[in-house]
């Protein structure tokens, strides 16, 4: 690992990792310019590469509440969030409205945070939308490592976060 600014180190995969000793975590840095892509049937989706932070926290009551309280106190909105558990830890992945401000808030609490590029896609909430997107990426040899989203059944549009093997290549494939 190489040293980076603040409390960051860069790991062998090129990700910025922040090491701390507390029980809260941080957020992400800004987004690339959004791109509009016409779908097969004229539907338009908004896509951008953004930063997601993965927070590694103790899996116990109140941990997620404290993370959300810290963001709310700083007036930072959570656009997307996903959690997964291990035996004694939880991984919280999130994309927020003001990543630089969120990082400052969470640095004060000291938690392990890993930063990754993800695609943030606003698209149609219709059967087959994800299938078409996944086929386009597969055809270009871009792997979807994980994805998360939630959309009310009556919503016409939804927000999806995709962690892919090559975000820039995925943007080109989805915009072609």
**Tokens standing for 42?**
């004229």
137 touches 121 (CB < 8 A): no
Q: Where are the domains of the chain?
A: 2-175
In this structure, the strands spanning 112-124 and 157-164 are antiparallel
Taking only the tens place, the pLDDT of each residue in 11-24 is 444 544 433 333 33
- Tokens 């080109």 correspond to 172
Per-residue pLDDT tens for 87-127? Answer: 889 999 999 998 878 888 877 888 777 888 999 999 999 99
Burial class from Cβ neighbours inside 10 Å (0-12, 13-18, 19+) for residue 126 reads middle
CATH no. for 2-175: 3.30.2130.10
């Amino acid at each position: 690992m190489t040293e980076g600014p603040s409390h960051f180190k860069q790991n062998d995969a090129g990700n910025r990792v922040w090491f701390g000793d507390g029980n809260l975590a941080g957020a992400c840095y800004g987004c690339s310019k959004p791109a509009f892509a016409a779908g097969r049937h004229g539907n338009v989706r908004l896509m951008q590469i953004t930063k997601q932070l993965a927070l590694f926290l103790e899996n116990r009551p109140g941990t997620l509440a404290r993370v959300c309280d810290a963001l709310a106190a700083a007036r930072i909105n959570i656009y997307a969030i996903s959690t997964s558990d291990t035996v004694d830890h939880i991984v919280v992945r999130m994309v927020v409205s003001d990543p630089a401000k969120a990082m400052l808030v969470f640095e004060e609490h000291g938690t392990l945070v890993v930063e990754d590029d993800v695609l943030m896609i606003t698209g149609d909430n219709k059967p087959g939308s994800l299938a078409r997107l996944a086929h386009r990426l597969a055809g270009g040899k871009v792997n979807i490592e994980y994805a998360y989203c939630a959309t009310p059944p009556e919503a016409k549009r939804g927000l999806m976060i995709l962690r892919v093997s090559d975000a820039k290549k995925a943007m080109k494939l989805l915009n072609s």
